[in-house]
Chain A
Amino acid sequence: MSATVIELDQEGPASVLRIEGDVTSGSEGDLTAAYGLAVANGATAVVLDFSKLEYMNSGGIGMLVTLLVRAQRGGVRLVATGLSDHYRQIFELTRLDEAIEIHADESAAVAAAIA
Chain B
Amino acid sequence: MTETPTQIEPETNATTDVPADDAAEAPANRDAEHWAKPVDRLYAGTTAMKDDAVTGKRVRGPLQGFGQLWQKSFSVRIEGVETTPEAVIATWKQHFAEFWPRGQRFYAPLSGIKPGEVGLLEIEPLPGAPVRLSTGVLVLYADAESFTFMTPEGHTLSAWITFSAERDGDVTIARAQALERPSDPFDEVAYRMGGNRQNNKFWQGTLCNLATYVGVAEPVVETQVVCIDKHRQWRHWRNVSNSATLHSARRTLTAPFRKLTGRG
* Closest 9 pairs between A and B when the two form their complex, measured CB to CB: A58-B148, A58-B141, A8-B6, A7-B5, A86-B29, A99-B63, A2-B16, A9-B5, A11-B1
State whether B2 touches A37 (Cβ < 8 A). Answer: no
* B-chain residues with CB within 8 Å of residue A55 when the two chains form the complex: 29-31
Give the B-binding residues of A (Cβ under 8 A): 1-11, 16, 18, 22, 25-27, 29-30, 33-34, 37, 54-59, 61-62, 65-66, 68-69, 72-73, 84, 86, 89-90, 92-96, 98-99
Q: List 19 A-B contacts (CB under 8 A).
A: A3-B9, A3-B12, A5-B8, A7-B7, A8-B6, A9-B1, A25-B177, A29-B10, A30-B8, A30-B10, A33-B8, A34-B8, A55-B30, A58-B140, A58-B160, A93-B37, A94-B160, A95-B59, A95-B64
Is A11 in contact with B2, judged by CB distance below 8 angstroms?
yes
Choose from A5, A66, A68, A92 the contact partner of B7 (Cβ within 8 Å): A5
Interface size class of B (residues with CB under 8 A): 35 or more
Kindly provide the distance from the CB of A57 to the nearest chain B CB, expressed in whole angstroms: 6
Q: Closest chain A residue to B3 by CB distance?
A: A9
Complex contact A62–B17 (CB within 8 A): no
| Chain B residue contacts of A56, Cβ below 8 A | 31
Closest B residue to A88 by CB, please name it.
B38
Given contacts A11-B1, A58-B141, contact A94 B150 (CB under 8 A): yes
Q: Which residues of A contact B162 (CB under 8 A)?
A: 58-59, 62
Chain A residue at smallest Cβ distance from B140 = A58
